[in-house]
Each structure stands twice: as structure tokens, then as C-alpha cells.
Structure 1
């Protein structure tokens, strides 16, 4: 795989209060992967205790006897290491769990490749925080008509 074939790479750090991992977001995550919108590069989950971080197997996160994330077991690109997991864990309170996902936005790969072939280069990319988007939309809705 060349750099021209890769879409932007993003990550998410999720906190699960009380380390309750119910798997309710899994269908949406699987749907994104199956439709080719994203590709999971790394996926790790850990429980945060007062004394450290304990990795959690991706097979049965909620202890209900059903396989939850087994489809992603072994998903590792090397982009997310133990130091990253520790940094993610430092963002959550002891007694909670942390989930970290590194994923490729595969939907953007063909566009970026086409732009590079046309001589363009991606010089920056970023993300607008969700709270900022919601605030801007709320402001638009409450603004008087022009």
C-alpha cells in the first residue's frame, strides 16, 4: 500500500463509566467497516484501576457470553502502543474503562489519490470539535432572520 492509497487516519478515545462495556455501539462500528467507510487499524480496551491499567480481551467485553469485538481481535497496525494506551487511560477516572480506536477514513482515499495525481498535496487536515458544531448550529437556529 502506498501513501496515495491511504485515507486520513484518526483516533478516538472513549470512556466507559463504571467499566460498563455494553457493546451498543458495535453494530454502528461494524456497519462503517462493512460499508468500507472506515478501516480499523488498532482497537484496544482497558480497565483503569487505582494501581494501573489492565487490558481487556476483545472477545466478550460485557461478560454476557456472546462475542462482541472478536471480529477486530488482533487488529493492530503498531500505531497504537502501550504508551498511547496509558495516555488514554490517564484521561479517565479509576474504575472506568477506556477504549481506543485508530481508523482509516477509507472513503477519502480515492479522493486524496485523485487530487495527488492532479498535482495537489494535502497540506493540513483537522477536526472541528462536536461541541463547537452544536453551538454553531444552535446559534444559527436562534438567530433572527436576515
Structure 2
């Protein structure tokens, strides 16, 4: 990645109740990659058994609809994730469910960051505002403007 425009790197941990991974969500992930908005650096999936054991899942036909859902990401590893990260993510979910852990680059931001560095600026912090907080703030704003 040296010498390239590199955007901020984020991760998501997603719980799949009943270990059901639906094709629509997977299609949305593929769409983001195909449009160049994100680049997947790591993608791991595991199931948590009823006994609490963590079992890795191959990235093939996750939703068992006969189509290879995420085989395009099979073997994608940046070295940013390890088994401890997957185990830690699995500890967040209920037994019988599956967990997906995705590390991705926000490729849309890479050229902006590079342009700022080219003029001497540096990104000194970045962060994430939880979606629930944003929705709550927008709802409060709407309530105040309707009062």
C-alpha cells in the first residue's frame, strides 16, 4: 500500500442470528467493492456453537442458496486480523449465531488524504459516530423544528 492513496481503515463486527447469512446483505457488500467505495482487507466468518465453541466458516455458499457468495474474498488477509480478533468478536454474540468480521479501507477518501498531504496537511484524528446517535440527533432536531 506504500505510495498509493490510502483511505481510513475501519472494521465492522456483524452478528447473524441463527447463523443465517442473507444474500441481500452480501450483495450490498460486493456492490460497495465493485464501485470502488471500499476495499476489503480482511473478512472472517465464524459460528458460535450452542456450547460456545468458535468454528471458522469457509467463504463459499454462506446462505446455502447454491451461489458462491463471498468466494471472491476467500484468502483475503492483510495481517490486521488474527484469531484473537475473531474470538473476541465471537464473544460479543449469542451461541447458535454467526459473526462476520470485516476490515476495510474507505478507498473514496484515499485521494483526498493524499491531496492534503501533498500541500503539507496531515490527518491527525478520525473517528466514528455510532449510527444510533446520529438517528437520535436527527430525530431530536426534527422534533424541535416541528414544535
Query: Residue in 1 aligned with 2:31?
Result: 31
Shift of 1:138: 0.2
Quote the Cα distance in structure 2 between the aligned partners of 1:69 and 1:118. Answer: 39
Shift of 1:144: 3.8
For residues 131-146 of structure 1, what are the structure 2 equivalents within 5 Å?
131-144=132-145
Quote the Cα distance in structure 2 between the aligned partners of 1:25 and 1:121. Answer: 35
Shift of 1:3: 6.5
Q: Is the CA contact 1:4–1:112 (under 8 Å) kept in the aligned structure 2?
A: no
Quote the Cα distance in structure 2 between the aligned partners of 1:145 and 1:22. Answer: 38
TM-score normalised by structure 2 residue count: 0.94
Q: Is the CA contact 1:7–1:109 (under 8 Å) kept in the aligned structure 2?
A: yes
Query: Residue in 2 aligned with 1:45?
Result: 45
Query: Residue in 2 aligned with 1:6?
Result: 6
Q: Secondary structure at the match of 1:24?
A: helix
> Which has the larger displacement, 109-118 or 4-13?
4-13
Shift of 1:145: 6.0
Could you say what the CA RMSD is over the residues aligned between the two structures, in angstroms?
A: 1.5
Query: Residue in 2 aligned with 1:75?
Result: 76
User: Once superposed, which parts of structure 1, at least 4 consecutive aligned residues long, lie more than 3 Å away?
Assistant: none
Q: Where do 5+ consecutive residues of structure 2 fail to align?
A: none
TM-score normalised by structure 1 residue count: 0.94
**1:61-104 deviations in whole A, cap 9, x for unaligned?**
12222211111111111111100000000000111000010000
Query: Residue in 1 aligned with 2:91?
Result: 90
Q: Is the CA contact 1:4–1:116 (under 8 Å) kept in the aligned structure 2?
A: no
Shift of 1:20: 1.0
Q: How many residues align?
A: 146
Query: Residue in 2 aligned with 1:15?
Result: 15
Q: Secondary structure at the match of 1:101?
A: strand
Q: Secondary structure at the match of 1:143?
A: helix
Quote the Cα distance in structure 2 between the aligned partners of 1:47 and 1:29. Answer: 20
